[in-house]
Structure 1
């Protein structure tokens, strides 16, 4: 028997506990359509329940070496190396032409994708690719999304060590190429519309497939060629809104000294690339140039407006007072499901540093991410001006490239109140 052609395609299944990942895998395995699939199943517990449930179908078994349980940890962190080694072993065996990976319900997909990328080869180093990530599929429980997500409930389970599950679900939705909206028969039409509108706002690029009991076409899961790291990393709703706002500001407000493009001298997160955003609908801008403050509100189509779901981008060239911002965070505005962006503080020991602000569910962080170019010597700045003329063109005399830019995503958000409260957090 001839060995399968390299690189072997891989599909990664993610989704919170109980969403239907194992049921979906069993459906795919029972309808393989000629594929010789191997399955890696991750479980945080010592006993891999999902692997046992899959094995009971008889399609794949540990005895036949086509079912590999990875237990007692997460493949997004503690079992990273184990995952890489197991994929390599399955490819090396020459028995399989497809690999399915079921991540634990509390795994983030991005680190797993980065681990798999280690095996995707390197042209510069002359390393051949032995596998390629073809599709990241996130399974979403439609009923749970409709009844709990974004409605004030915490989605916490006692056995998840107080992990913020709402934040996890958002990350699983944001970083994927396909979304299986499962259990749609358990919600009514209005609930389904609201859930789909929210998912499309969080992740406007992924393919959304409605399902019951994980019954979907195998062609929607295997060999889709839907996944691309750069595109998936930049496809989240907040990133799309961020980039659209940037494009609009450069197109319509090049004359305004308070607005500029972003070329900061700081440590860029390599997986957070931004791409152009294309949404139908009208955009409304409201800028207060005297205070260096600007807000753009983006509509995402009729369905989103019907359910009160939308985004807006908050700008300011002035810094935040850290204590005042903490008060804002402690009384987080109702309806905001996701917020992300960059900011700076007025404190002397912090004003030179760019911070990445991120909120998903009840998890809210502001992480230092290098210095603003304005904090560097004039000679260093001139080098960057020469390489990137647009930086100097949009440079602010007082603040340089320092600014606040935050994307807010939510349902029935009180935008004027949020803007007013944020303005009250500003310092000179």
Structure 2
């Protein structure tokens, strides 16, 4: 039986950093597979993690609910069959719902749920709770363990506000508040595992749900219950009229949606742009580009060639940017995610056509 550890968290919360710590300090020498469910056109985190020696199976798809129903479930089955690992670490998309991930994992034979946790950025908990309630709050309310990141960067008042928000959403979850540098990976995994007792009871959706309606069967050519024909993705839906789990146009990834509607999928609220480039950048070039991103951008990351012959990794969330040396990728990769993304402006900022 393969043990599953699900580490969810909103965009830029620090999931990859935590996974790197656990891989190094806890999973060294064990047969581990990391499965990523990326939102966006280009998956980048595999590049960040490949130096660890862990197998990375990235699944990229425009429609998150369809990814969960098809590609993601099949990927888990394939991982179990092909690798027979001791552990599978699932890193869901930052805009994925933990409840959806758990529903898929429960449906795959040969898996034992070991832990399901959510990483929450202590600096941005309040603002994300306010602006992205449906996705952010689901990750917290569903988790057995909430792991606060960057607690060393906030004051006591902010930390208390964060805890109050988490407790309002989830009365029972363990909350890790100690800075990660002060904790061993084993101490963190002990808290994650110790808070879990099998699968939680997931609430049944009253509305149509793409994660279980059966409408995405390969041999079914009819329109699915979520309102679009998966063979002809050229529908323009009205959220008030359609079943809301998938009511988006798959061709137009530049939506401008309100955040507080219930039952939306990530593609309805967030826009992602993926760029491949051979451009060379200096650290100063990347720092300048990131400084020009507007308030609608909530996540940017990339692996690009440097002017000095090395490669640069960068991570960005509002107010914080990290640029460092990394391993080469097959080409330069940049991903930008936001609630409203001006694609032309992003290309201008990074000097790509």
Q: Which residue of structure 2 lines up, in the alignment, with residue 190 of structure 1?
A: 157
Counterpart CA distance in 1 for 2:158 and 2:171 is 19
1:131: how far off?
A: 0.7
1:136 aligns with 2:116: yes
Listed as ranges, the matches of 1:20-35 within 5 Å are: 20-31=14-25, 32-35=27-30
Q: Take 2:128 and 2:60, find their aligned partners in 1: how far apart are those partners?
A: 28
> Which ranges of structure 1 fall in alignment gaps of 5 or more residues?
1-6, 61-65, 120-128, 155-164, 235-265, 271-359, 366-428
Gaps of 5+ in 2: 210-257, 264-353
Report the TM-score, using the length of structure 1 for normalisation.
0.44
The corresponding residue for 1:8 is 2
Q: Are the counterparts in 2 of residues 11 and 136 from structure 1 also a CA contact under 8 Å?
A: yes
1:363 aligns with 2:261: yes
- Counterpart in the other structure of 1:78: 67
Partner residue, 1:227: 196
Shift of 1:140: 0.3
Residue 217 in 1 paired to residue 185 in 2?
Answer: yes
CA separation in 2, counterparts of 1:211 and 1:197? 16
Question: 2: CA distance between counterparts of 1:114 and 1:95?
Answer: 21
Q: Which residue of 2 aligns with 1:311?
A: none
Larger Cα-atom Rg: 1
CA contact (8 A) 1:77 1:111 kept: no
For residues 91 and 117 of structure 2, what CA distance do their matches in structure 1 show? 10
Q: Distance in 1 between matches of 2:98 and 2:175?
A: 17
Instruction: State how many pairs are aligned.
Output: 211
Task: Give 2:53's aligned residue.
Answer: 59
The 1:95–1:230 alpha-carbon spacing in structure 2 relative to 1, beyond 3 Å, is closer
Shift of 1:192: 0.5
Shift of 1:197: 1.8
How far apart are the structure 2 equivalents of 1:269 and 1:226?
31
Taking a change above 3 Å as real, the CA distance of residues 226 and 104 of structure 1, as seen in their structure-2 partners, is: same
1:43/1:74 contact within 8 Å kept: no
RMSD of aligned residue pairs (Cα, Å): 3.1
Question: Per-residue deviation at 1:174?
Answer: 0.5
**1:47 and 2:14 matched:** no
Q: Distance in 2 between matches of 1:175 and 1:117?
A: 14
Following TM superposition, the consecutive aligned residue runs of length 4 or more in structure 1 with deviations greater than 6 angstroms are 266-270
